[in-house]
């Protein structure tokens, strides 16, 4: 495969006029294949969503093989070639089933977007900031439970969201690090000092900035201020046009810089489905346009109905450059999940996973392991 004439993503230089070559499923320096002219298009590495719950009518927390396969297929069709879906705040038996289902999918080498691991968004969160999650299953930080879940997942739990004000949180962070699990602070009432202590102990991420955490103010900077002060910490941001105002999106990209932002979709099973009512962790949500809320509680956002490619486009509409948005949706999540050696950029030797966008940033084609799997070149 040899694609020429396009603006090609480079992690340091931005988008540059160049060519993309691939063979045997990996990116190469050159190719003897006939060139395909993509003048006016953009080529970017496959996106990686490390925080979403479902799409296409399916939810990761349902823990069904068919549902997970449909999620992977849908994500790949949208140019998201790597996924790390989130399990919700549920009982340990249910979380164990979620972990076992994910492990079986990974070890079965299934088609669709690559399942890079899973994210436990609960249950180690604050009741006061549980958001749309089910408060019946909120649990204090418990390293032994995390270890059991990691065992059920056969080592594939990559992320856990934690409210660091919970009892034993610092010990939990240290235990998570020993288990190879990256800790992200979120669904929390933590103040700046508490969050700082957690980051000093080894937490390395912030879960969906602004949402389910204290506000960032001049006297109480909270988790956002603590995350900004730690250069090694990355910060998630939902850019669906509903969860965070455009001005705040621009402000966070300035505060953290593109190399520390992680765009996420936080999508629900309703993504790609349209208006209606949908089950959600023992509750129901209602969707009207781009807004998804708990049924009967229109003030409580439940997640998004966008996908990560839609969030990248929305970020550009908000004034974020395409390069910065792609950095936050591919390079940074690949680094956070420890897979940047083979994913997240278009460097030779990495997996030939990429998306081609039209001039207006709409999706033209998706290439996965060197094969066109959606659209056409």
pLDDT tens readout for residues 334-354: 999 999 999 999 999 999 999
Q: Show the DSSP H helices in 169-293 as ranges.
A: 169-178, 192-201, 222-228, 246-256
When pLDDT is cut at 50, 70 and 90, the band that residue 326 belongs to is: very high
- Mean pLDDT along residues 114-126: 98
Q: pLDDT digits over 172-204, tens only? A: 999 999 999 999 999 999 999 999 999 999 999
Q: Give yes or no for a cis peptide into 182 (omega within 30° of 0).
A: no
Does domain 2-43+357-375 match CATH 2.30.40?
A: yes
- Record the pTM: 0.97
Distance from the Cα of residue 6 to its chain's centroid: 27
Superfamily of the domain at 47-343: Metal-dependent hydrolases (3.20.20.140)
Query: What is the residue extent of each domain of the chain?
Result: 2-43+357-375, 47-343
Of 43, 25, 117, 76, the closest CA to residue 350 belongs to: 25
Other CB atoms closer than 10 Å to residue 18's CB: what's the count? 17
- Note the pLDDT of residue 282: 78
Distances (CA, A) of 206 to 151, 159, 210, 261, 335: 25, 11, 10, 10, 15
Q: Pick the catalytic residue: 49, 62, 266, 351?
A: 266
Mean pLDDT of the chain: 97
Topology agreement, domain 2-43+357-375 and domain 47-343: no
Least Cα distance to 46 among 24, 65, 69, 27 occurs for 27
360 is catalytic: no
pLDDT tens per residue across span 6-24: 999 999 999 999 999 999 9
């Amino acid at each position: 495969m040899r694609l020429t004439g396009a603006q090609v993503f480079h992690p340091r230089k931005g988008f540059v006029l160049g060519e993309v070559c691939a063979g045997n499923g990996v990116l190469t320096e050159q190719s003897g294949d006939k060139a395909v002219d993509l003048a006016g298009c953009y080529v970017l590495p496959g996106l990686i969503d490390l925080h979403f719950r479902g799409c296409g009518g399916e939810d990761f927390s349902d823990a069904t093989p068919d549902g997970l396969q449909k999620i992977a297929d849908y994500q790949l069709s949208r140019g998201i070639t790597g996924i790390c879906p989130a399990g919700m705040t549920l009982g340990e038996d249910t979380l164990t089933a979620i972990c076992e289902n994910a492990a079986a999918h990974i070890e079965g080498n299934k088609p669709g977007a690559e399942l890079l691991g899973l994210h436990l968004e609960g249950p180690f969160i604050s009741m006061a900031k549980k958001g749309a999650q089910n408060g019946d299953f909120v649990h204090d930080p418990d390293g032994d439970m995390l270890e059991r879940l990691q065992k059920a997942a056969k080592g594939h739990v990559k992320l856990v969201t934690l409210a660091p004000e919970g009892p034993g949180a610092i010990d939990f962070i240290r235990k998570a690090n020993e288990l190879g699990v990256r800790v992200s602070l979120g669904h929390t009432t933590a103040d700046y000092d508490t969050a700082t202590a957690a980051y000093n102990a080894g937490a390395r991420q912030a879960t969906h900035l602004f949402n389910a955490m204290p506000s960032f103010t001049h006297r109480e900077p909270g988790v956002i201020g603590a995350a900004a002060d730690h250069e090694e910490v990355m910060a998630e941001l939902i850019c669906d046009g509903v969860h965070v105002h455009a001005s705040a999106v621009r402000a966070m990209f300035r505060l953290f810089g593109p190399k520390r932002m992680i765009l996420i979709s936080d999508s629900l099973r309703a993504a790609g489905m349209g208006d209606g009512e949908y089950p959600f962790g023992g509750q129901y949500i209602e969707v009207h346009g781009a807004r998804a809320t708990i049924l009967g509680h229109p003030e409580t956002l439940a997640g998004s109905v966008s996908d990560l490619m839609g969030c990248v486009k929305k970020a550009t509409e908000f004034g974020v450059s395409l390069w910065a948005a792609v950095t936050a949706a591919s390079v940074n999540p690949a680094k956070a999940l420890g897979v940047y050696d083979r994913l997240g950029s278009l460097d030779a030797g990495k997996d030939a996973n990429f998306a081609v966008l039209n001039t207006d940033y709409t999706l033209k084609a998706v290439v996965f392991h060197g094969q066109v799997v959606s659209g056409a070149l």
